[in-house]
Structure 1
Amino acid sequence: MRLVPIAYLSSYTLSLLGNSVAGIALPLIVLQMTGSVLGMGALAAATAVPAVLAGLFMGVVIDRINRRTSSVLTDLVSAAAIAALPIVDLVSGLNLGWFILFGIIGSVGDVPGLTARDALLPAIVRHGNISAERLMGLRESLGAVAMLLGPAAAGTLMVVFDGSTVLWITAGTSLLAALVTLLVPHRVGDIVRDLPQADTDAVPATGWAQLREGWRVLFRSRFLRATTMLSIVSVVVLAALQGLVLPVYFTLADQPGMLGYVLTALAAGMLLGGGAYALLGARGRRRWWFVAGIVGTTVGFAVVATLASVWVVFAGAFVVGLSGGLFSSLVGVLMIERIPEQMRGRVMGTQNSMMTAGPPLGIVVAAVVTELASLEAAAITLAGVWSVAAVVGLSVRSLRSLEPTEETEATVVRTGA
């Protein structure tokens, strides 16, 4: 494998690992330093809206500048925001206001950073001598590794080091991710600008007009609407299960520590699913991979929703991870092929923003159903929501033919160098 995909995948893993560690460690540090559970919720709420807005509006910037540069800059913003917290702690001490301030600043780097890396994918395929299937499969597998290591690393670091000291390490992973991205040649991040003259003249001049143009591309495409809907629903359902249903289930079963093992089973499934797609994704018809991912995820959610026993939940989580690894890898390949090169920042920024906003909504809905009915009813409701989305996904005409065409192949093959 060439340096370009190795550097890209390494940077992606480091960034995701840092976010995974911070996602566990930061709320615990807030609780340690403020003694307020409400403060943990306030931090999450205060950073959610800026993250969504940044994802929406920074897509225009990502479509205007070199995409390697935008990826590096967003990692540096994240690193600086996290590193500022232990510095303030040394100088004057931390309070909730500081956490919220730098949490908002850091959120400006999170979703745009993910979007910048997503927008860079076609160039990695073109310049890295790697197939889109292998690249996306490896990316999903490495994401699962980060998901496995992050919580364990966060717990270990919180035991070994003082709270704010841990933040130096999480900031270091973001900084290292930025430095590794610099190994990707600058020209790889150049935006391909070879549209016909008539199309080029039609590109809106203002940032707001360009943003609306990206939304028009996303919401007028039946294919993009369908795949975005499936991705959002899967994230919402999974977040509600992880964030509310399963924690409550294991707490009622007097086994709260088992939640971590369920997440391990989920990540292990994702690791195998992504690895399988990396090895075999270029073989067979894509429709088969799509159906396998959708049906497998439906079965997995249904098994988890039974809440029959701890081991049944483990098995269901593994199936969800395995099938989700296949589905996410395939969707990533399709996004590489079918989103116009010059629209990738705006389209994928909107997609990532919606997927960032979705999980809190799913948790709230699950909480309401649990309160009004029962935990079992909430689990069944979530599985039912995904089942409806799965039936729609398997039925819509735009997702029946997924094989590459001459037009989609040109999107990936075009060198632009």
Structure 2
Amino acid sequence: MKLIPVAYLTSYVLSLLGNSIAAIAFPLIVLQTTGSALGAGVVAAATAIPAVIAGLLMGVVIDRINRRTSSFVTDLVSAASVAALPLIDLLSGLNLGWFILFGIIGSLGDVPGMTAREALLPAIVRHGDITSERLVGIREALGAVAMLVGPAAAGTLMVLFDGSTVLWITAATSFAAALTTLLIPGRVGQIVTSDGAAAITTGNGWSQLRDGWRALFTSRFLVVTTALSLISVVVLAALQGLLLPVYFTLEEQPGMLGFVLTALAGGTLVGGLVYAIAGARGRRRAWFLTGLVGTTVGFGVIAALPSVWVVFAGAFVVGLSSGLFGSLIGVLMIERIPEQMRGRIMGTQNAIMTAAPAIGIVAAAVLTEYAGVGVAALTVTSLWLIALALGLASRSLRNLEPDPTRATDDDAAVISHA
């Protein structure tokens, strides 16, 4: 494999690993420092809204500048926002206000960073001598590895070191991701049209943002695939964030939750690897239906909450199917989102996905409180039946094979909006 895809994938894993460690360690450090569980909740709430807004608005910037540069800068922002906390602790001591301030600053780099890295994918395929199926499948598998390693690493670090040291390690991970991005040649990040010419940006930021939203919400394909991803995130968040913790607590086996999440990540790892190896073979519609139906079966098994070990099996099936489904959707995004609008369209999608987990967890909490965990699990997972119906019935998902003329048509549409 050439240096370009290796550098891209290494940077992706380091960034995701840093975020995964921070997601576990940061609330614990806030709790240790302030002694307030409410304070940890306030920090989480205060950083969520800026992250969504940044995802919506920063896509315009990502579509204006070199995408390698935007990936580098966003990782640097994340690293600096975390590194600032132990520095403040050394100088004057930390309080809740500092955690909120630098949490907000860090959130401004998280979703835009994810968007910038995804916007780079077509260029990595072009310059890296790698198929999109292989690249996205490997990325999906490595993402699962990072999600497996990250929480365990966070727990180990919190046992071995004090909070400031853990923050330094987390910042170093994001900084390493930024430096690795620089191994990608600058020309790879240039925004080009379908004929290879440098893209010319016209209009002000607001008009460009409107054009991106118009392109997203008037495309049946993008609307349906975004809806499928949204429902998946809502259901998974409700299961992971509330329903399964409550279930295992009632079963007096709270420690088993970690093994379910491991089964889910393990399934995603296998699914990503399978798609990386075999995704370019066979009909894409077959891969799509396998992922869609497999996810339905997995959610159905989990929703029944029959026994701990059967829930493990259902989680693995969901992960495996999601690995196949997510990899295919990633390939389709590379092919079907206009190059010059990738930042705006994918930024909006990522902002929506960032807000989705809270919706799933709140809905699950209300249902669990008033109807019980069994009814709540069945109700939440039944949302996936909407996704199943959309996937089976949508005409825009009937033909998923590559179309060489589509990119040219999309670029022409972009120019007509400018």
TM-score, length-scaled by structure 2? 0.96
2:23 alignment partner AA: G
Shift of 1:288: 0.3
Shift of 1:30: 0.8
- 1:371 is the counterpart of 2:342: no
Contact 1:63 1:191 in 2 (8 A): yes
Shift of 1:193: 3.9
What is the distance in 2 between the residues matched to 1:201 and 1:317? 44
What is the distance in 1 between the residues matched to 2:408 and 2:158? 49
Shift of 1:339: 0.2
State the match for 2:331 in structure 1. 333
State the match for 1:69 in structure 2. 69
Shift of 1:408: 4.0
State the match for 2:306 in structure 1. 308
- CA displacement 1:369-391 (0-9 Å, x = unmatched): 11111111110011100111111
What is the distance in 2 between the residues matched to 1:77 and 1:106? 6
State the match for 1:209 in structure 2. 207
Count of equivalent residues? 410
1:82 alignment partner AA: V
State the match for 2:3 in structure 1. 3
Shift of 1:98: 0.7
1:96 alignment partner AA: L
Shift of 1:392: 1.3
State which drifts further: 378-387 or 58-67.
378-387
What is the distance in 2 between the residues matched to 1:281 and 1:410? 24
Correspondent of 1:230 among 224, 228, 231:
228
- 1:359 is the counterpart of 2:357: yes
Shift of 1:203: 6.6
Return closer, same or farther for 1:119/1:196 CA change in 2, 3 Å cut-off: closer
- CA displacement 1:205-244 (0-9 Å, x = unmatched): 1101100100000000000000000011101110110000
- CA displacement 1:228-274 (0-9 Å, x = unmatched): 00011101110110000011111111111111111100010000000
State the match for 1:320 in structure 2. 318
What is the distance in 1 between the residues matched to 2:256 and 2:189? 43
State the match for 2:292 in structure 1. 294
- CA displacement 1:162-196 (0-9 Å, x = unmatched): 01210100100000000001000000000004679
What is the distance in 1 between the residues matched to 2:59 and 2:199? 20
What is the distance in 1 between the residues matched to 2:282 and 2:44? 43
SS at match of 2:172: helix
Contact 1:81 1:102 in 2 (8 A): yes
What is the distance in 2 between the residues matched to 1:235 and 1:282? 26
Contact 1:21 1:153 in 2 (8 A): yes
Shift of 1:204: 5.1
State which drifts further: 203-212 or 398-407.
203-212
State the match for 1:186 in structure 2. 186
Contact 1:337 1:411 in 2 (8 A): no
User: For 1:16-415, what aligned pairs fall within 5 Å after superposition?
Assistant: 16-193=16-193, 205-408=203-406
What is the distance in 1 between the residues matched to 2:217 and 2:95? 42
SS at match of 1:402: coil
What is the distance in 1 between the residues matched to 2:331 and 2:366? 37
SS at match of 2:65: coil
TM-score, length-scaled by structure 1? 0.96
SS at match of 1:353: helix
What is the distance in 1 between the residues matched to 2:344 and 2:199? 18
What is the distance in 1 between the residues matched to 2:24 and 2:177? 19
Return closer, same or farther for 1:196/1:128 CA change in 2, 3 Å cut-off: closer
Return closer, same or farther for 1:222/1:37 CA change in 2, 3 Å cut-off: same
1:8 alignment partner AA: Y
What is the distance in 1 between the residues matched to 2:375 and 2:168? 43
1:120 alignment partner AA: L
Structure 1 unpaired stretches of 5+: 413-417
Contact 1:296 1:319 in 2 (8 A): yes
Return closer, same or farther for 1:194/1:394 CA change in 2, 3 Å cut-off: closer
What is the distance in 1 between the residues matched to 2:59 and 2:98? 27
What is the distance in 2 between the residues matched to 1:164 and 1:281? 44
Contact 1:29 1:163 in 2 (8 A): yes
- CA displacement 1:345-376 (0-9 Å, x = unmatched): 00000000000000001100000111111111
What is the distance in 2 between the residues matched to 1:201 and 1:230? 31
Contact 1:218 1:224 in 2 (8 A): yes
Return closer, same or farther for 1:164/1:202 CA change in 2, 3 Å cut-off: closer
Contact 1:5 1:128 in 2 (8 A): yes
Structure 2 unpaired stretches of 5+: 411-418
What is the distance in 2 between the residues matched to 1:98 and 1:201? 41
State the match for 1:415 in structure 2. none
Contact 2:291 2:322 in 1 (8 A): yes
2:351 alignment partner AA: S
Contact 1:247 1:259 in 2 (8 A): yes
Contact 1:71 1:178 in 2 (8 A): yes
What is the distance in 2 between the residues matched to 1:333 and 1:389? 19
What is the distance in 2 between the residues matched to 1:75 and 1:201? 25
Return closer, same or farther for 1:110/1:196 CA change in 2, 3 Å cut-off: closer
What is the distance in 1 between the residues matched to 2:193 and 2:387? 36
